[in-house]
Amino acid sequence: MPGKLEGRVAIVTAGGAGIGAATARRFAKEGAAVVIADLSGTRAQAVTDEVKAAGGRAVCIKMDASDPEAIQATIKLALDTYGRLDVMFNNAGMAEVALIHDTTLESWNRVMAVTLTSTFLGIKYAVPIMRKQGGGAIINTASISGTRGDYGMASYNAAKAGVINLTRAAALENAKHKIRINCVCPGGINTRVAQVLGGDRAEEFRRTMGAIHPVGRMGEPEEIANTVTFLASDEASFITGAKIVVDGGVTAHTGMPPFIPSAKN
């Protein structure tokens, strides 16, 4: 039985680890040829080798997703190697923790470039190719942090909110061209972010993050990859301009404590 993405060509940015790597593997398993792009060429190569060892098709490129020339080179690699581009997964992003009055302009610009501008560039350069082909799917990694605020994460909150509304605007512009553009909004996912944000208290960070999710744990990268694969496939043919929340129930909660005397948990 053919996979959900059989015969298609996909680009995954930040594909060398975490959600990107999990999605690259899943895309390949579903029959897509995958271009794995990452700031770390070593990580990108490792995931490419893994995909090939499992019988999939993949090539990789070292690239900075905030660099327009790098995005164009990545798309050129897809076209030169596989002849088309059907799926663009704009997954690159970063966060830097600081209160607003302590956030430097350099830090603000860096977070915006890697998180929001990279998504703009991925859409900008993928759309003309997909219009010529008669359609395609673009998925952007946003976050529940783009739907509400976090303490000390203003630049990330602003960038991810931008990804969500950029997704909507791009979807409206391209719907008649049969290009579907959606974003996924993960909750706390068990990736390298725990190490980055938690530092030497990474395990404590994971426990704390897990506890705030009603399901009682952080999500796994593969669980986001499942959603991205669905959005890339024909199963999502009537979905565009959407933000799909995958957060273990975090945003379903008002914040009120679970105090109902007659209720049994």
Mention every residue, 6+ apart, whose C-beta is less than 8 A from residue 240.
171, 175, 180, 181, 182
According to DSSP, the residues that pair with 181 across neighbouring strands are: 138
Residues that are catalytic = 156
Which DSSP letter does residue 98 get?
Answer: B
164: its two tokens: 């969500």
- Answer yes or no: are the C-beta atoms of 159 and 111 closer than 8 Å: yes
- Answer yes or no: are the C-beta atoms of 30 and 234 closer than 8 Å: no
205-212 CB contacts, 8 Å cutoff, 24+ apart: 212/188, 212/250
User: Dihedrals φ, ψ of 53, to 5°?
Assistant: -65, -30
Cα–Cα dist 20/258, whole Å: 36
Which DSSP letter does residue 67 get?
Answer: -
Cα–Cα dist 10/36, whole Å: 9
67: its two tokens: 């660099």
